[in-house]
Amino acid sequence: MSTDLANTAAADLLDADPQRVADTNAVVRALALPDGARSLEVFNPATGDTIAAVPDADPGQALRAVAAAEAAGREWAARTPRQRADILRRWYDLINEHAEKISLLITSEMGKPLVESRAEVTYGGDFVRWYAEEAVRPGGNVRDVPTGGATLLTRRAPVGLSVLITPWNFPLAMATRKIAPALAAGCPVVIKPATLTPLTTFYVVDLAYRAGVPVDLVQVVTTGDASAFSEAVLTDARVRKVSFTGSTGVGKILLKLAADNVLRSSMELGGDAPLIVFDDADLERAVNGAYAAKMRNGGQSCIAANRIYVQDGIADAFVEGLVEKMAAARVGNGLADDVALGPLIDDRAVSSMQKLVDDAVAAGADVRSGGHAIAGPGSFFEPTVLDHVATTAEAARTEIFGPIAAIQRFRTEAEVVHRANSTEYGLAGYVFTENLDRALNVADALQTGLVGINQGVPSNAAAPFGGIKQSGLGREGSAEGLDEYQEIRFYNIARRTTGSDVVGSG
């Protein structure tokens, strides 16, 4: 059922007239839903308008999707790696061919400026290309038992039916980063996109079908009751894997559910990234890097610079430079030209920004630019720079997830490393310095899964993205991302050797 709906949805979207980009409602029209189907509305956060409705699946429908995917999975797993790779490569080509429509869709349902949506299509498409390439390198190796007399053959097998749950902030990339390695490894998939941004997933999965992915193999399920979905699906014995991207709180709930079924679990969770600027940093690089690390996706990124630490000697010049850039950032509907900051995802996010600013100011912070919500329609907040944020302020202790640069100052390397690591999160960190030893020493000392050195956008399909501490389990992207969808098995082959085990010695 969900497959039919995905097809219907995507077919409808494909008819959209790209000429009318200024009219958000022209990009996404209401999906044709079966009579009497329960549905969920999707909004454009720049206008508040309803732009589409998607199915509101109940747990019974989700389990039917599980059954259909599982049945299709057997045939998919039996295909050769080259056959799977060729289909993934065609999917990548189709994503590129439809890049502009996908970008319009991302901006329409999520709000980010079109230029950033285009960058997301490049980034998200790269995972499909990467795993088209990795699919034919499924690993496995041969080794000898150290005491002799046996040879170990390790083999890799698909982990099995994988449930993928994605957030709203990167509607394309979070989906392809999971679906592509799952398919490359030979696994069937049930994907539940965020209720706020399901349209991009429908569209890109339809492109996968056009590329040759069997229609039952990838099931898209949208639902307004995420708990009922995960309780039904993750405890079903046919499911073998859960991969989740979202908040740490929800990740913990899913890990508890996964425990009952002992599911392989990958968790890409919340972040609290420190960004550290030392006195010996290149000022322009530091300002540009901090701006990118803060403002990409309107600050709604798990690796967004959350706590900006600036050393005393460079602090005034850095703050001035950042204020200038932030104040010049044009705010508006992401479909309009030259917009640098689109809307936040909803009004709740706007009021949470206002609370963070007010709380920081009450604790002594200076508002150097912005600081206010912008009147609707749409959910907008000014690009904001707060200087001298107290360690006790909420903005210094929580994931901001919006366009607020919260700056603290520091004196010594040891002090800033200690402060940077004083968090239960460990996803990303950033270091700006022209001293190579210092850059590497501080990167080594940071308790994070990834570090941007002299740059603010470290993600890449070739990199093993993921967090430590409460930021997650497992890695996405790179060769390691394929491991997450594979079981490693071994055969121990007894050998009657005629003397030395050394190959070629006889």
Catalog residues that contact ligand NAD under the rule CB under 6 A.
165-169, 192, 194-195, 226-227, 229-230, 245-247, 250, 253-254, 268-271, 302, 399, 427, 467, 472
CA angle 481, 293, 131 (to 5 degrees): 20
**Does 399 qualify as catalytic in the annotation?**
no
Q: What's CA 98's distance to the chain center, in Å?
A: 21
CA 302/CA 272 separation, integer angstroms: 8
Residue 108 or residue 169: which is nearer to ligand NAD going by CB? Answer: 169
State the residue number with the nearest CB to ligand NAD.
246
- For residue 475, the one-letter residue type is R
Which residue, among 329, 297, 310, has the nearest Cα to 406 in the 3D structure?
Answer: 310
Residue 162 or residue 311: which is nearer to ligand NAD going by CB? Answer: 162
**Does 302 qualify as catalytic in the annotation?**
yes
Which residue, among 220, 217, 209, 216, has the nearest Cα to 87 in the 3D structure?
Answer: 209
Q: How far is the CB of 182 from ligand NAD (least distance, A)?
A: 16
* Token pair listed for 156: 């890799």
Residue 6 or residue 165: which is nearer to ligand NAD going by CB? Answer: 165
* Token pair listed for 132: 């088209």
What sign results for the dihedral spanned by CA atoms 252, 254, 260, 261? negative
Q: How far is the CB of 191 from ligand NAD (least distance, A)?
A: 10
Q: How far is the CB of 187 from ligand NAD (least distance, A)?
A: 19
Longest Cα–Cα distance in the chain: 84
285 has which bridge partners? none
CA 308/CA 294 separation, integer angstroms: 9
Strands 264-268 and 380-381: unpaired
Q: How far is the CB of 268 from ligand NAD (least distance, A)?
A: 3
The alpha carbon torsion through 380, 53, 95, 162 (nearest 10 deg) reads 100
Residue 190 or residue 439: which is nearer to ligand NAD going by CB? Answer: 190
Residue 318 or residue 465: which is nearer to ligand NAD going by CB? Answer: 465
CA 315/CA 366 separation, integer angstroms: 14
41 has which bridge partners? 53
Q: How far is the CB of 145 from ligand NAD (least distance, A)?
A: 39
Residue 21 or residue 165: which is nearer to ligand NAD going by CB? Answer: 165
Residue 24 or residue 166: which is nearer to ligand NAD going by CB? Answer: 166
Residue 270 or residue 334: which is nearer to ligand NAD going by CB? Answer: 270
| Contact in structure between 204 and 103 (CB atoms under 8 Å) | no
Q: How far is the CB of 166 from ligand NAD (least distance, A)?
A: 6
134, 268, 382, 484: which one is catalytic? 268
Region for residue 495 given its phi and psi (left: phi exceeds 0; alpha: psi -120 to 50; beta: otherwise)? beta
- For residue 77, the one-letter residue type is A
Region for residue 388 given its phi and psi (left: phi exceeds 0; alpha: psi -120 to 50; beta: otherwise)? left
* Token pair listed for 414: 């040891």
| Contact in structure between 482 and 184 (CB atoms under 8 Å) | yes
Q: How far is the CB of 440 from ligand NAD (least distance, A)?
A: 24
H/E stretch holding 151 reads strand 150-158
187, 302, 394, 399: which one is catalytic? 302
Cis peptide, bond prior to residue 377, ω within 30 of zero: yes
Q: How far is the CB of 186 from ligand NAD (least distance, A)?
A: 24
Residues with a catalytic annotation lie at 268, 302
